[in-house]
Structure 1
Amino acid sequence: MANYHRNNVENVVLGRHHHHSHRSKSASVAGHTFRLWNAASFRRIIFDAVSCGASSRYAARSNISDEKQHLQQKQQHHKTTSMKNNAKSEKLSDLLSIAEAETDVETKKKEEKLEDLKRLVKELQQHEEDSTKNKKSEAAAKVRLLAKEELEVRGTLAMLGAIPPLVAMLDETEQNDVNSLVSSLYALLNLGIGNDANKAAIVKVGSVEKMLKLIESPDGLDSSVSEAIVANFLGLSALDSNKPIIGSSASIYFLVRTLQSLDDESSPQAKQDALRALYNLSIFPGNVAFILETDLVVFLVNSIGDMEVTERTLATLSNIVSTREGRKAISAVPDSIPILVDVLNWTDSPECQEKASYILMVMAHKSYGDKQAMIEAGIASSLLELSLLGSTLAQKRASRILEILRVDKGKQVSGSYGLGAAVSAPICGSLSGKPDGGGGRECFEEDEEMMSEEKKAVKQLVQQSLQNNMRKIVKRANLPHDIVPSDHFKSLTLSSTSKSLPF
């Protein structure tokens, strides 16, 4: 458009210039002179001017139209975005409303449940009257079920004060009211499960004395009540602070009596619970003295072999052997050492092997007489096999026992390990009192001869043990029983010494 205007102006100026230069070729109208243009040129000028102006106006209208269209699109996008945001806000508002409604419902349920628990505890706390006996018994039964199902309820009931009235029921309820006694006992048991604070509170309010009072009743005790008391002792003894309190009472005698009962007075479950409770109590060293006042150790040693109770029995003996009196009690049981040595060969029960090896290790470390009994029981072969084929813990303990058996405060224990008597290093000295006397030389030769005999015994022991282990390995591998060890294996066993033992 600018180009068109510039050209037109130049044409006009030039027209005027030519008008002054060539007057002969111009025309005069009303005192003015103009250059004469032909029709075609004039039309072209007019057309160009009109076209340029129209083009500019069209371009302006196009720009305005584009701006309007862009503005409309922007408004439409804003409107769409606003609608989406409103939809999201409404959805979020709905979710929040639902969450608030659910929270209100749960809060209301919790409040109602708390009120129910408060009423339940009030029923337990009512004074003992004929009209309230049934209500208290029913309340105890409800506490038993609620505490069994929900962990949080146990703490809530204890805070509301449910434990003291339940313990009081053990003293107030008549012996023939078995249902009330059982309900209160199992309610206490369930309140203590997984809650150490409740366990401590139950013992603190005197439950142990009241349960023992029921046991000592001259009229006898129903088996269901007895089993409930055993279960309570098991649960309460799991807390360390309760162990000395329960152990110093007469509960150990009751538990041992329950464990040893041969008739049907005690169920298998009650016996298992009694053994587990005794194990818990034996963890506290101060209770070992009370345990030794019974004949529990004899019963435990003689029970080894019954796979249902052997592992727990050995675990209890592992606690008892930690004291000097406990070791003496185990050693005093006839055939206790051979029985424990035999457990080392139970390859199908590594847990029992580990516990038996621990008991033997402690006894061998503390008592020379027990070491001799182990040697006589043929423990060396079992220990060598255990040190090769046992679990990691059993291998370590077996190696430790072998080391203890070899050395005893500078004295060399019999290298034959059952093949001969113990041989000690002689105390050498000059019989004549001279430093280089013949007696000293004679003693030295005797010492060397005795050491060589000892080495021979150790070689023989190792050779026999390795051959026995080879036979057992062959048997386990299902190879032919008449397999003969190779010459290479024989050469290894012949060249073995006590230094090759896995100490």
Structure 2
Amino acid sequence: MVSREQEHSESQISSSSKAQQAPRSMRTIRSNAVETSFLDKMTEYEYALDAKLAELAKTEKPFAVTNSLEISQDFSEFSACSSDISGELQRLACACSVHQSPEESSKISQNEPDLDLEPWLGFLQTENLNSEILDSISPEDLQPAVMICIKGVKSPSPIVKRSAAAKLRVLAKNREENRALIAESGAIPALIPLLGSSDPWTQENAATALLNLSLNDENKLICTRNGAIKPLIHVLKTGTEVAKQNAACALLSLALVEQNVCSIGASGAIAPLVSLLMNGTNRGMKDSLTTLYKLCSIEVNKERAVNAGVVKPLLEFVSERRSGVAEKAMVVLSSLAGIEEGRSAIVEEGGMAVLVEAIEDGTSMKGKEFAVATLLQMCSDSVRNRGCLVREGAIPPLVALSQTGSARAKRKAEILLGYLREPRPEASARSR
């Protein structure tokens, strides 16, 4: 069955082919002010580049890497982080063409005589890169492309910086070997300053390139040694929606090195992550929740999250049963219930009723399990919270869960019911 998007795309291709018999050349995006002889020379190099890539693709076997970052046994059931976690890389090489005028494109070749472009002349101006071909080429054969991109990142031209960062973003997308090669070539310290760029697309490309590079364990250390944490937090505050999402994912990747968890929180990441949670797209909310969960593995970051106002939006997600977000929110709430500040905030925001409703009417058994786990933490040492839970009508749904839930849910529901059945001090006093 053909989708509407496919039909629309096919009609566009059909109509455009009548007006243009040959494939679109890079010549169409260059300034008409450039001399024809120079354009002819550039085109020759581009054809040579395409031929070289095709030749290498025939001799190398395709290679693909799926790199999942497990957060915890429970949380990974809801989410996995990869080099394409936010889906932004579907636009991989389009950033250059969409945000770059023909006049800007011509300036790359006119104003950058310091770049040794041969034999990759035109690489930075290439509108689209065939990722399948790139994935088929060995890192050694891509070394010239990597080096020209790193030179471009260091260029004084904002246009070249933007394009070079976009290409590194693509080259680091899939292959572990490429990530290692790009980092060994010195790309990470060159990309980090671009996180402070006033050009949003340069900033976005740099953040995404660093996200992809950080999926390599050694590169995580290189990123932190070169001071990537605070610039990534800057992107989290100031970037495009995609840049914010990928900055959050890059911070998550760096937080998988345990000693970074505290420093990321201390550097101010929690508040902008909560802001992304409250104001971002559905994808941004998921990325923020995943990163917050990892950062809240230590008590000081839990306190920061509670002080930043994270409890209210988390409870709203659970109450609204927002698809793909409610269960993640429940997991973070369960983590925050591990500290006194978190338990108090949950009560103050009306969380007891929300959690009881999640046990009674929640659609996900895993969500019910986390809800009862959170309530168990709320009530284990608090007679007041036990009384509040009884008043919210928790006993019938807890009894039902103790009979029909998963093994873990049954066990936790039974323990919580035992707490609720214990006589309360005030009731004992009245009976005397």
TM-score (norm 1): 0.54
Partner of residue 156 from structure 1, selected from 158, 181, 187: 181
CA distance in 2, matches of 1:359, 1:190: 34
Contact 2:255 2:295 in 1 (8 A): yes
1:116 aligned onto 2:142: yes
The answer (yes or no) to whether the contact 1:344–1:382 under 8 Å persists in 2 is yes
Larger RCO, structure (CA 8 Å, separation 6 or more): 2
Compute the displacement of 1:126 (Å).
6.7
**Once the 2 structures are TM-superposed, how far is the Cα of residue 232 of structure 1 from its aligned partner?**
2.5
> Is the alpha carbon distance of 1:413 and 1:145 closer, same or farther for their aligned partners in structure 2, counting shifts above 3 Å?
same
The residue that corresponds to 1:452 in the other structure is none
Q: 1:114 to 1:276 in 2, by over 3 A?
A: same
Equivalent AA in structure 1 for residue 365 of structure 2: P
Partner of 2:29: none
- Report what 2:413 is aligned to: 398
Query: Aligned pair in 2 of structure 1 residues 123, 347: CA closer, same or farther (>3 Å)?
Result: closer
Gaps of 5+ in 1: 1-104, 415-420, 427-445, 447-503
Spell out, residue by residue over 1:389-420, the C-alpha distance to the aligned partner (whole angstroms, 9 max, x if none). Answer: 1111110001101122233xxxx349xxxxxx
Q: Which residue among 240, 254, 261 is the counterpart of 2:258? A: 240
Pair 120,323 (structure 1): closer, same or farther in 2 beyond 3 Å:
same
Please state how far the C-alpha of 1:271 moved relative to its aligned partner: 2.1
| 1:185 matched residue in structure 2 | 207
- Is 1:422 the counterpart of 2:393? The answer is no
**Which residue among 362, 375, 384 is the counterpart of 1:369?**
384
Change (3 A) 1:366 1:112: closer
How far apart are the structure 2 equivalents of 1:141 and 1:389?
Answer: 52
**Structure-2 residue corresponding to 1:250:** 268
**Alignment identity in percent?**
26
Deviation at 1:275, TM superposition (A): 2.0
Q: Residues 125, 231 of structure 1: CA spacing in aligned structure 2 closer, same or farther, 3 A cutoff?
A: same
- How far the C-alpha of 1:245 sits from its partner, in A, is 1.5
CA-to-aligned-CA distance 1:63-121 (integer Å, 9 cap, x gap): xxxxxxxxxxxxxxxxxxxxxxxxxxxxxxxxxxxxxxxxxx779x9997426326624
Paired with 1:127 and 1:377, the residues of 2 have a C-alpha distance of 59
Change (3 A) 1:348 1:112: closer
Alpha-carbon contact 1:279-1:316 (below 8 Å) kept: yes
Matched, 1:200 2:221: yes
Q: 1:290 to 1:121 in 2, by over 3 A?
A: farther
Does the alignment pair 1:313 with 2:338? Answer: no
Match of 2:193 in 1: 168
8 Å CA contact 1:357–1:394 kept in 2: the answer is yes
Choose from 267, 271, 286 the match for 1:272. 286
Structure 1 residue 368 displacement after superposition:
1.0
1:141, 1:184 within 8 Å by CA — same for their partners in 2? yes
Distance of 1:134 and 1:211 partners within structure 2? 21
Report the secondary structure of 1:149's partner residue: coil
Corresponding residue number in structure 2 for 1:501: none
Q: 3-state DSSP class of the match of 2:273?
A: helix
Question: Residues 359 and 113 (structure 1 numbering): CA distance in 2 closer, same or farther, change over 3 Å?
Answer: closer
Provide the C-alpha distance between the structure 2 equivalents of 1:113 and 1:300, rounded to a whole number of angstroms: 44
Q: Does the 8 Å contact 1:244/1:284 carry over to 2?
A: yes
Shift of 1:366: 1.6
Distance in 1, Cα, partners of 2:406 & 2:235: 46
Q: CA deviation at 1:130?
A: 3.4
Letter in 2 for 1:321: A
Checking the alignment, whether the CA contact within 8 Å between 1:363 and 1:370 is kept in structure 2 is yes
Hey, what's the Cα distance between the residues in 2 that align with 1:148 and 1:222? 20
Matched residue SS, 2:338: coil
Aligned to 1:81: none
Indicate how the Cα distance of structure 1 residues 106 and 298 shifts in structure 2: closer, same or farther if over 3 A, else same: closer
| Residue number in structure 1 paired with 2:232 | 211
Cα distance in 2 between the residues matched to 1:113 and 1:214? 29
Residue 387 of structure 1 contacts residue 395 of structure 1 at CA under 8 Å; is this kept in 2?
Answer: yes
Q: CA deviation at 1:180?
A: 2.1
User: Does structure 2 conserve the Cα–Cα contact (< 8 Å) formed by 1:259 and 1:275?
Assistant: yes
With normalisation by structure 2, the TM-score equals 0.62
Which whole-Å CA distance do the structure 2 matches of 1:338 and 1:136 have between them?
Answer: 52
The answer on whether the counterparts of 1:252 and 1:290 sit within 8 Å (CA) in structure 2 is yes
Q: Check the 8 A contact 2:147/2:185 in 1, yes or no.
A: yes
Cα distance per residue 1:350-377 (max 9 Å; x no partner): 1011101101111111211000001111
Larger Rg belongs to: 1
CA change 1:214–1:425 in 2 (3 A) is closer
